[in-house]
Structure 1
Amino acid sequence: MRIAIGGFIHETNTFAPAPTVFEDFGDWLGNGIPVGKEIFERTPKTIALRGVSARARDDGHELVPLIHAPASPANKLTEDCFERISAMLIERIGDPTRLDGVILDLHGAMVAKHHSDADAEILRRVRSHVGPNVPVVASLDLHGNVTPEMITIADGLVGYRTYPHVDMYQTGERAYELFLALKSDAPPKARGFRSIPFLMPIHRQTTMNSPCSELYASLARHEAECGDGAKLSFMMGFTLADVNQCRPSLYGFGADQQKLDRALDAMLEEILDCEAEFHAALPSADEAVAEALRQPEGVTVLADVQDNAGGGGTSDTIWVLESLLKAKAKDAVVGLMFDPEAAKAAHAAGLGADIEIPLGGKGMPGHAPLVRSFRVAGLHDGVFRLKGPMMAGSDQNLGKMAWLVCDGVGVVVTSVRTWYVERESFAITGAVPEEHRIVSVKSTNHYRADFTELSSRIIELGAPGAVTLDPSKLSYKNLQPGTRLYGTGPAFQPAKV
């Protein structure tokens, strides 16, 4: 068969300070959007697209490479951005009469200035181009705010089942399996969708802990009970999108509608039974630091969950760093701090130099930098190889990086705002996490994939940032009325005009 494959991926935080523009999209090394055969050379080896391509090639099929366009989370895509990339994707598909199918790597929570349900719009345009008889399948992030329209337009959608996302490649394989079923002599026609009536704060979504570890295990059992190659997905949603479809959901595709409906209904009941566990409480930075200092030997990880670039955060708030200094903490390191000016100053001064700089605090309105004298303890510039469970074997380039130290507290500074933290991102500058008593990461959950193994304990904290994890503190206007803002929390009602 001849299969078109590509991706257009964005997790849109409509509360973030900056819009998303065309130049924000590109590969991990900052070299623009991979096009054609480049998508097999310039994309991380662990993503869904790689799972699809490996299986398809093993089966002897011809792949038609389109584009692969990811960008770090930020506010809505500009109209120009969305239209340009969508046009690139459609143009590369070419003559649909020469295709047997299309498999896409999407997110599920993209919002454009002129399309609130941007993933549905991408699927709609692909469907319009290829017609009703060419199967269209997509892999999705489990933070997708999926809509009934997406389920109707696509022939199949398959979501991640892990957060941190260590099953991206496997999700691509599952999407490919669903595509093969659609091309069989008895293609599955059943599909179903269930909307979940409460929001799930993102820091409560990790599948490494309860309740999500048990819920996803249950999802796999229900899928197996459906038989006949059915694929079920549980999307926990992305709460930082003020759109009507901002809700968790369940959906599935299979051969037997009754079995599919029973499985989705049973899974929905199990999720509702766990609702109270999706609470929003978080300690302050000062409280978390005090708790960390009370801990015995071992490494304590402080998760600065609201300054996560992976959710649209600026990744440059200084609250945890300031709290550690105020508490006279020793042997601590904070990262990754996005501050190109500080990194440039450190490289200009050189290893071992002392520099007084305004560090961080530049991206969020009302914030201010921390002005201190820092010693340049480590430097790095350019590409390095990732080693953690999510992206092992892939290269990353965060530009000029520096490990700066003040009164025993270090901070790893980068020149690129990045959405994922793993140990190598620290260690490449010399700030080896295992050698510190306290490690603070600007990440909501992805850090767990690589940091849990080294830590004696993890303390999540709620310092101010662009990734507000308590949905009741967000100024929504467009949610579905009656949506509970967290587990057993207050229900959203639109303001009266």
Structure 2
Amino acid sequence: MTPTSLPGPVGAGAPRRRLRIGIGGMAIESSEFCPHRSSYEDFRVTRGADLLARYTWTRPDDGLAPLVEWVPLVHAVALPGGPVVRETFERIRDELVTRVRDAAPLDGLVYDIHGAMSVVGLTDAEAELTAAVREAAGPDTLISAAMDLHGNVSHDFARHLDLLTAHRLAPHEDAWETRERAARKLVERLATGAGRPHRAWVQVPVLLPGEKTSTRLEPAKSLYGSLADVEARDGICDAAIWVGYAWADEPRCRAAVVVTGDDADLALEQAGALARRYWEARHDFTFVGPTGQADECIAAAVASTARPFLISDSGDNPTAGGAGDLAYMLSRLLADDDLAAGRVTALHPGIHDPAALAACFAAGTGAEVTLKVGGHVSAGSGVHAEPCELAGEVVSLQTLGGVRAAAVRHGGVTAVLTERRTPFHTRADFGELDPLGYDLVVVKIGYLEPELYDMAADWLLALTPGGVDQDLLRLGHHHVARPLYPFDDEGFEDPGTVPVLL
């Protein structure tokens, strides 16, 4: 008997034993163009009951409970940022591997990762992590990976997995649904004795930012919308497309397709069809919203009657891997006459600067301060990393989700400074500051998350500089495998979209 098959009854009416399925992983999205370095303190690490509580399908009242004994291992997740320092990666990897080995034998493992982790000194961090997990789990344990569609899927990484799937929506409104799909499909295969499926894998030589591949728009909308139909075919278990992660500079960075199923020929056929469709649509991907340079976006927002008018400071988006400390957009807001004079108001939250934040708390609400804002992490990293002078009144001091934040107003511009890299995606993230009370709201983000999208009377995506610059050609990739669109649009006599079985 192997761990992948349920034991038969030992007597009339005897129950089958419950499957033992581990849960663990390490998840972060890492921009190699960001000067930030992700350390152990950046990760939220959960174990035991806290880890099981992350998911709804591990609850005792879920339908899987009679079938599965969930074994919590360790899970570490961090806000996107710069590459992970080697010591942090090895510390988390070693704990995960040790816990997998100590929990053996496991029938299965739900592997909750991202897919775009970069580690200082490694070229394919997820492949190294997954190889170690596979060795610890043994060849008979089925591993089912739940991933972000912005992950990278190299052959060396994917060959260690038995099932792998990704989000089908960007923005990722289905992130938890993806994890549940990975878990339930794993249980289904184990409980029925279906075992290890065939996996048809292929990469596509296209690398685009998430802001050009949102499933709100074509062609991504139809491409991802077709996956459920592929999955519904007899002989197919799952179908997934990854757009890749554009702000890492590694050979694995590109789009990928994986179709899993019991019918190997059908899996190959469907994977090839999806890869060809993606390749043929490469010129059709466009930004999820209207774009412009920073000053163009500010001028258009000031002149508009739509309120609030949202602007994405896309190049320094911390939830894509940006440092979150660039004051470039703040300097451009202060340079606008209407905003500086207070004839138009703007709220610009999320500039990471612990020193400036501390000065505001020391001064107190109502105090006048003169600060050098920004560049705390990015100093010396290149153009636009210099701090911006901000003189004004401290109008708010608050703690948001455990992170201290201070708001300073100069003329019509209110800048929110934070002690840690902090996203502002929901109304609650703003705390006592009401974004609906301002003419403009400038947020460090790419495409707008659902609450921001619903809040915006109108919006623009500013093509600003930073570690997640939307203009990939000016970032300076040197290690991606070429030819690769959009870096090249020639030399593709054979784009190599023929899948293989892993």
Q: Normalising to structure 2: TM-score of the pair? A: 0.86
| Larger Rg computed on CA atoms | 2
Quote the offset at 1:200 in angstroms.
1.0
Tell me the CA shift for residue 74 of structure 1.
3.1
Q: What's 2:408 paired with?
A: 404
Q: Using the TM superposition, give the Cα deviation of residue 440 of structure 1 relative to its aligned residue in structure 2, in angstroms.
A: 0.7
Aligned pairs for 1:206-217 within 5 A? 206-217=214-225
Kept in 2, the 8 Å contact 1:299–1:457? The answer is yes
Contact 2:163 2:197 in 1 (8 A): no
What are the residue-to-residue correspondences of 1:162-181 with 2, within 5 Å?
162-181=169-188
Q: Quick one: distance in 2 between partners of 1:63 and 1:13?
A: 33
Residues 210-252 of structure 1: CA distance to partner in whole angstroms, max 9, x if unpaired? 332222112222222x335611111111111111101011112
1:357 and 2:371 aligned: yes
Inter-partner Cα distance in structure 2 for 1:331 and 1:196: 45
Is the Cα contact below 8 Å between 1:6 and 1:65 reproduced in 2? Answer: yes
CA offset digits 1:434-466 (Å, max 9, x no partner): 222211110123x32211111122201112212
Q: In 2, are the aligned partners of 1:304 and 1:440 still within 8 Å (CA)?
A: yes
Contact persistence 1:484–1:491 (CA under 8 A): no
Aligned residues of 1:52 and 1:172 also touching (Cα < 8 A): no
| 1:299/1:419 CA distance change after superposition, 3 Å | closer
Aligned length: 460
| Letter of the structure 2 residue corresponding to residue 168 of structure 1 | A
Q: Which amino acid aligns with 2:204?
A: I
1:308 pairs, out of 300, 317, 322, with 317
Unaligned runs of 5+ in 1: 27-32, 385-395, 493-497
Matches within 5 A, 1:64-79: 64-79=71-86
Match of 1:423 in 2: 427
Question: What amino acid maps onto 2:348 in structure 1?
Answer: V
5 Å matches for 1:461-476? Answer: 461-476=462-477
How many angstroms apart in 2 are the aligned matches of 1:297 and 1:72?
A: 32
Among candidates 40, 64, 70, match of residue 59 of structure 1 = 64
Alignment-mate amino acid for residue 257 of structure 1: A
In the other structure, the counterpart of 2:263 is: 256
User: CA 1:17/1:135 → structure 2, altered by over 3 Å: closer, same or farther?
Assistant: same
1:157 aligns with 2:164: yes
Deviation, structure 1 residue 316: 2.0
> Which of these residues, 37, 50, 56, is aligned with residue 49 of structure 2?
37
Q: State the secondary structure of the residue aligned to 1:309.
A: coil
After TM superposition, give the deviation of residue 88 of structure 1 in Å.
0.6
Specify the alignment match of 2:13 in structure 1: none
What SS does structure 1 have at the residue aligned with 2:127? Answer: helix
| Equivalent-residue separation in structure 2 for 1:203 and 1:54 (angstroms) | 36
CA-CA distance at 1:490 after TM superposition: 6.7
1:66-119: CA deviation from partner (whole Å, max 9, x where unpaired): 111112333332322221111111112244543221111111112223432111
Question: What does residue 380 of structure 1 align with?
Answer: 398
In structure 1, distance between residues paired with 2:263 and 2:370:
67
Alignment-mate amino acid for residue 96 of structure 2: L
> Residues 285-300 of structure 1 correspond to what in structure 2 (within 5 A)?
285-300=294-309
- Residue 289 of structure 1 and its aligned partner are, at CA, apart by 0.6
- Assess if the C-alpha contact under 8 Å between 1:378 and 1:404 holds in 2: yes
Equivalent of 1:325, from 325, 334, 338?
334
Contact 1:51 1:170 in 2 (8 A): no
Q: CA deviation at 1:24?
A: 2.4
1:136 aligns with 2:136: no
Find the aligned partners of 1:138 and 1:7 in 2 and give their Cα distance: 9
Which segment is superposed worse, 430-439 or 128-137?
Answer: 430-439
CA contact (8 A) 1:110 1:118 kept: yes
Amino acid at match of 1:474: L
Task: Say whether the 8 Å CA contact 2:349–2:424 is kept in structure 1.
Answer: no
- AA in 2 matched with 1:342: A
Which residue of structure 2 aligns with residue 389 of structure 1? none
- 2: CA distance between counterparts of 1:20 and 1:363? 12
Cα distance in 2, alignment partners of residues 251 and 84 from structure 1? 30
Q: What letter is aligned with 1:269?
A: R
**TM-score scaled to structure 1, two decimals?**
0.87
Following TM superposition, where does structure 1 have runs of at least 4 consecutive aligned residues deviating by more than 6 angstroms? none
The RMSD of aligned alpha carbons is: 2.3
Q: Is the 8 A contact 1:181 1:229 kept in 2?
A: no
Q: Answer with 235-244 or 470-479: which moved more.
A: 470-479
SS of aligned partner of 1:133:
coil
Say whether 1:193 aligns with 2:201.
yes
**For residue 239 of structure 2, what is the amino acid of its counterpart?**
L
CA distance in 2, matches of 1:55, 1:109: 33
CA–CA separation in structure 2 for the residues paired with 1:160 and 1:55:
26
- The separation in 1 between residues aligned to 2:74 and 2:139, in whole angstroms, is 22
Structure 2 residue identity aligned to 1:120: A
Identity of matched residues, %: 29
DSSP-derived class of the 1:53 partner: coil
